Structure 1
Amino acid sequence: MLIHGLGGTQYDLGALHKRLKRGGIGTHSLTLPGHALEPKALVGVRAEEWIDAVTAKYREIAGQYEVVHVVGMCMGALLAAIVCAREAHTTGRLIMLAPPVFIDGWSTPWYRAFRHVVYWVPFLPENMKVEEGEPYGIKNTLVRHIVKAKFRRGDNFHYQWVPLACIREVDRLRALTRRSVRQIRCPVLVVHAREDELTTLRSADFIAREAPMVRVVILENSYHMICIDNDREQVAASVLDFLGVADAIAGGSESVSPRLGTVLGARR
């Protein structure tokens, strides 16, 4: 089960679904409420709606398979953790890709904490735009140029902005995640870039400290969008290894000069 991030689509996870299928694992995804339309569709969407949508999809898939693995990217990782905790998920594994448990990366402005005050200003959260900008979560120059070109063409692969009210709901998910992590009962893989501009390694450290069975992989050559950045080959290889699946094309042409990251052993 693959869960995309805020303002995104299944493309947030790059070619991961293809790699899983090559390994013999069927993939299922969903479009979160307010997505795949236009940014203003997110106005009024509550965190509970995202949780309910993921829960419904999880239960649908769980009714079809004996083993279900849950994979989430960015906000999708938060949703994956919350649902795995609430559903007492033990039939498979949980994979959290770049989970923003804390929003404290190097590109976040010093005044980011003031958003919690602005949330209470009438009408402003619904009408204030939080725009995507450089570096778009991508360290690889070529991929970043491709993403910028897609934005210019208006391709519907990722929202160029989200309403501030939506960030408020993500903050609520972050708080729920911090309370839910200890309730997770399945093995967890966290893949996080050291240079993530949105969220520091503090997020990965928190999950490793609070959840019972955690493996952490630290990437050394990517920003936030790890599934499409320089280390995307290592991300796929780490996921397949964690799931016990042979990597049919490890080191193949899909790699973009990845540097080996750091793997921290499972905490038990």
Structure 2
Amino acid sequence: MTIQSRAAIPVAPRPAAAPPPAVLLIHGLGGTPAEMHAIARAAAAAGHPVVPVRLAGHCGSEADLAASTWRHWLASVEAAHDAAIAAHGRVVVAGLCLGALLALALADRHPATVRGLALYSLPLRYDGWGVPPLTPLLLPLLLATRWGRDHRFVARDPFGVKDPRRRAVLAAGKRRGDSLAAGAAAITGRSLAELDALRRHLLPRLPAITTPALIVHAVEDDIAGPRSPRALAAALGGPNRILWLHDCYHMITLDRQRDRVARETVAFFASLAA
């Protein structure tokens, strides 16, 4: 009996999975890329190229920071975005406080290339437990004056950090004037006015921002209370959810829940490709 062999059926090769997008990391006002280290470490472990952004005017002198505007800061983010797109094709963005506002501004300008946003401790109002009650009303009036814009707002305890050990390290760095490691020891009203100008620029644009967003906020945020994330979630035009954190203050990327912030961020970015 002759056995006839059956021709092998060709199998098309599976398309290679797209590599994870680059992750842009944007620190806060008067801050430093070191604030985003936990996110950078987790993102790199998950295979993401990591692009830390150092904002214009930051990590130097107080005069450098006072001379920079929100448009300078956004230009820093734009340059990092353009380089990441050229090298990796896709980006997702994580930002803390001012960095979260800048992440939204980037998504507004580049909806086709910014695939996801992780927005940490975003301040639409200064109404956290560590802020004097009349600040939301009086601060805009103060910043409209020359004295207010030149006034130095000195960083003070608890520095947005609940963990006493990390708070002590941060305080020591600020006392040494190590702005690269610990951020600025003080910022002027001019910088706060620039942050507010960026916020006012963004508010009417939020409904047009459809990029998926993870909004992460501490219940005990000492700078921006719960109304900020709720208002942001309601205003954004794209899918979003709020992750509430306990046992930490404003600087959630440094505080006791930093590892959870990192894990949830990486999981959220992975879900966008699912």
Give the TM-score of the pair, scaled to structure 2.
Answer: 0.84
- Aligned residues with identical type, % of pairs: 28
Q: Distance in 1 between matches of 2:67 and 2:149?
A: 8
Q: Distance in 2 between matches of 1:52 and 1:155?
A: 24
Deviations 1:40-94 (A, max 9, x none): 2122322222122212321221222232111111100000001101222455211
**Partner-residue secondary structure (3-state), 1:28:** strand
**Partner-residue secondary structure (3-state), 2:88:** coil
Bigger mean CA offset, 207-216 vs 72-81: 207-216
Give the corresponding residue for 1:120: 144
Bigger mean CA offset, 155-164 vs 46-55: 46-55
Give the corresponding residue for 1:250: none
**Partner-residue secondary structure (3-state), 2:248:** coil
Q: Distance in 2 between matches of 1:111 and 1:202?
A: 16
**Partner-residue secondary structure (3-state), 2:244:** strand
Letter of the 1:19 partner, please give it: A
How far residue 23 of structure 1 moved from its aligned partner, in angstroms, is 0.8
Deviations 1:212-246 (A, max 9, x none): 2002110011100001111111101110110128x
Give the corresponding residue for 1:43: 66
Q: Tell me if 1:79 matches 2:102.
A: yes
Deviations 1:15-38 (A, max 9, x none): 211111111101012211111111
Select the residue among 109, 112, 134 that pairs with 1:111: 134
Q: Is the 8 A contact 1:96 1:191 kept in 2?
A: yes
Q: Tell me if 1:190 matches 2:215.
A: yes
Q: Distance in 1 between matches of 2:224 and 2:81?
A: 27
Distance 1:89 1:140, change over 3 A: farther
Deviations 1:146-178 (A, max 9, x none): 212222333222001001111011111122232
Q: Distance in 2 between matches of 1:206 and 1:100?
A: 10
Bigger mean CA offset, 222-231 vs 110-119: 110-119
How far residue 126 of structure 1 moved from its aligned partner, in angstroms, is 4.4
**Partner-residue secondary structure (3-state), 1:221:** coil
Question: Equivalences for 1:240-255 in 2 at 5 Å?
Answer: 240-244=266-270
Gaps of 5+ in 2: 1-23
Letter of the 2:142 partner, please give it: V
Q: Distance in 2 between matches of 1:154 and 1:8?
A: 13
Letter of the 1:119 partner, please give it: L
Q: Distance in 1 between matches of 2:187 and 2:158?
A: 17
Q: Is the 8 A contact 2:106 2:114 kept in 1?
A: no
Give the corresponding residue for 1:203: 228
Give the corresponding residue for 1:237: 263
Give the corresponding residue for 1:2: 25
Higher helix share: 2
Give the corresponding residue for 2:203: 178
How far residue 5 of structure 1 moved from its aligned partner, in angstroms, is 0.6
Please, what is the CA RMSD of the aligned residues? Answer: 1.6
**Partner-residue secondary structure (3-state), 2:217:** strand
Runs of 4+ displaced beyond 3 Å: none
Q: Distance in 2 between matches of 1:30 and 1:232?
A: 19
Letter of the 2:248 partner, please give it: S
Q: Is the 8 A contact 2:143 2:149 kept in 1?
A: no
**Partner-residue secondary structure (3-state), 1:218:** strand
Q: Distance in 1 between matches of 2:220 and 2:82?
A: 35
**Partner-residue secondary structure (3-state), 1:48:** helix
Q: Distance in 2 between matches of 1:125 and 1:213?
A: 38
Q: Tell me if 1:143 matches 2:166.
A: yes
Gaps of 5+ in 1: 246-268
**Partner-residue secondary structure (3-state), 2:74:** helix
Q: Distance in 1 between matches of 2:90 and 2:51?
A: 13
Select the residue among 36, 50, 55 that pairs with 1:27: 50
